């Protein structure tokens, strides 16, 4: 099975606001929108939107056994693990097991995430 497809649409415009879903456990600070998913492999492309003032410090840093790529679409996000502000345009290709976060943002942030859960 291949990843799902959808031709040319803009997930960031107001008309598509209802497609965003709260992230379980982070309902008041972040939401996500899956753009494409392969139900068989679990590989997905998703947008995560952190609201202004979001802080995931109470949840600690995280890592996972699979690679992922991230691209900061807008705003900025502080990654405590790297002691670095990720600004619009920042990109990372994270290897399996890399520690990242916790995260904070003052103005909000939208991050594109491409994850490969079956590539362990």
CATH assignment at residue 40: 2.60.120.10
Please report which residue ranges of the chain form alpha helices under DSSP H: none
Please give the pLDDT value at position 6.
Answer: 81
Residue 91 domain-assigned? yes
Residue 104 domain-assigned? yes
Residue 105 domain-assigned? yes
Regions of the chain where pLDDT drops below 70: 1, 120
Q: Answer for the pair 80, 101: CB distance below 8 angstroms, yes or no.
A: yes
Residue 28, number of CB atoms within 10 A of its CB:
11
Please give the pLDDT value at position 118.
Answer: 81
Please give the pLDDT value at position 24.
Answer: 94
Looking at the 3D structure of the chain, how many domains does it have?
Answer: 1
Q: Which domain holds residue 53?
A: 29-115
Residues in the chain: 120
Cα–Cα distance measured from residue 88 to residue 69, given in angstroms and rounded to the nearest whole number: 15
Residue 108 domain-assigned? yes
- The CB-side HSE value for 23 (13 A sphere, CA atoms) comes to 16
Of 85, 12, 57, give the one whose Cα is nearest residue 20. Answer: 12
């Amino acid at each position: 099975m291949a990843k799902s497809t959808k031709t040319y649409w803009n997930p960031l415009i107001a008309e598509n606001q209802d497609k965003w879903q709260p992230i379980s456990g982070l309902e008041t600070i972040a939401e996500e929108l899956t753009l494409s998913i392969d139900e068989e492999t679990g590989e997905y492309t998703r947008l995560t939107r952190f609201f202004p003032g979001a802080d995931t410090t109470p949840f600690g840093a995280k890592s996972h056994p699979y690679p992922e790529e991230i691209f900061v679409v807008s705003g900025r996000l502080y990654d405590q693990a790297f002691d670095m502000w990720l600004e619009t345009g920042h990109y990372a290709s994270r290897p399996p097991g890399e520690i990242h976060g916790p995260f904070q943002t003052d103005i909000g942030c939208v991050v594109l995430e491409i994850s490969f859960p079956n590539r362990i």
